[in-house]
Structure 1
């Protein structure tokens, strides 16, 4: 593992153990695959606790994350799930991400990732604690995410001038299409190859790949890129969801 990443994870585990009643700590996403890009990828963690987070623990979690003064700390995200809430897909869990604390559910995609390729940092593996996600639950979440979030986001134009929307939007629709078609999860690296199969504009794909992997970047204006990416994402979602989508 990347030295700075390994140091950060070891520091975080040492800090978390006296802060919360920690049962297990797992990583998912790029960190648990061969697709992790130091400095570009987020460090996505799940902490399993022996009891729900109290207000005092909420404050301790916030102080702990703010007190981490190490490289890549701004990339570290963690959701804190109590044992008693693991079976509830709709439960909102205390989460630190993007340098703030809030509550959000741990999605069906994340839960499936944890069962298929988690990096176990502490405690028992996911299979011993986390209920599995059925294929129906996974597909239902992916379809709802495309319909209720990403399709809605394509109605506006200004946000698509930003790198993050282009990068995440194009990769998400590719990954979602494969999940709904084949029932499997793919990495961001694999998604970039799938984008070509889906008819994504080659210069947009090259633009996304350049930011993630440092490959040569195409000559492409932000306005042209925004128009191409937004149209591709909207058309792909509509095609994937079928005629019932708005």
Structure 2
């Protein structure tokens, strides 16, 4: 399978960096992985400081993987035992074909503790500090208020599939986390959306594109209407969520 081939090559190429552990989170760990559609979200725990030599090795590794068909889907943050304790700290990350720096968020940390998949080495329980409930709660509110709510006002974004999908699914996941104190998969979040008042046409559109064998591309007029429906729903919905739990 392409996923297995890619992960095997990635782990083999990571050996010179002497990782303490490699973990999967997101869809691959949570049971909602769709090969060719889902991202491969990984965390690699390296033994010491991530200096320039390590950065060069990471870049070279990901460039060597480009021949693998799913390589663009593989995203990995590189952390160390000494840097894992701070959820606000940014870490070397390979994503979207380039080097970035981004934090390992409280949601990702809780995923790793609750259902993280160990691909190599030690488990998250042995290396990753636990996530306090207040920390998870505050992050869910902040992410909706400071990232997603301003994005709703940028109309051009919502003509893209990825913004519609992630905007609605992240809202549903945040709602369940704040309401029930638990994490849910994207499939479970999709099932929550109708009860949360999301537009049924848009929910069905997401389901077709995520789970049908050969979904047809959306026509431009539907993309425009879908963007309007999503923004009209999501703005007030996020405002209400933040008011209730902020």
Which residue of structure 2 aligns with residue 90 of structure 1?
88
Q: So what's the TM-score if we normalise by structure 1?
A: 0.94
* 8 Å contact kept, 1:92–1:103: yes
- How far 1:60 sits from its partner (Å)? 1.2
Counterpart pick for 1:24 among 18, 21, 26: 21
Aligned residues of 2:43 and 2:79 also touching (Cα < 8 A): yes
Superimposed CA distance per residue, residues 117-137 of structure 1 (whole angstroms, 9 cap, x where no aligned partner): 011111011000000101100
Please give the alpha-carbon distance, in whole angstroms, between the structure 1 residues aligned to 2:132 and 2:156.
Answer: 37
Aligned match of 2:196: 198
Q: Give TM-score scaled by structure 2 length.
A: 0.94
Check the 8 A contact 1:109/1:138 in 2, yes or no: yes
> Quick check: which one's helix share is greater?
2
What is the CA distance between 1:48 and its match in structure 2? 0.5
The alpha carbon displacement at 1:55 in A equals 0.7
- Counterpart secondary structure, 1:200: coil
- Specify the alignment match of 1:58 in structure 2: 55
- Deviation per CA, 1:110-162: give whole Å up to 9, x if none: 00000000111110110000001011000111100000000010112111111
Backbone CA RMSD of aligned residues? 1.6
Q: CA deviation at 1:244?
A: 9.2
What CA distance in whole angstroms lies between the structure 1 residues aligned with 2:212 and 2:245? 39
| Structure 1 residue ranges, 4+ long, deviating more than 6 angstroms after superposition | 215-220
- Once residues 200 and 88 of structure 2 are traced to their aligned partners in structure 1, the CA distance between those partners, rounded to angstroms, is 38
Q: What is the rounded CA distance, in whole Å, between the counterparts of 1:46 and 1:142 in structure 2?
A: 21
Return the alpha-carbon distance in structure 2 between the equivalents of residues 47 and 29 of structure 1. Answer: 14
Unaligned runs of 5+ in 1: none
Cα-to-partner distance string for 1:28-54 (whole Å, 9 max, x where unaligned): 110012210000000000001111211
Aligned residues between the structures: 242
Kindly report which structure 2 residues correspond to 1:123-162, keeping only aligned pairs within 5 A, or say none.
Answer: 123-162=121-160
The alpha carbon displacement at 1:206 in A equals 0.8
Structure 2 alignment gaps of length 5 or more: none
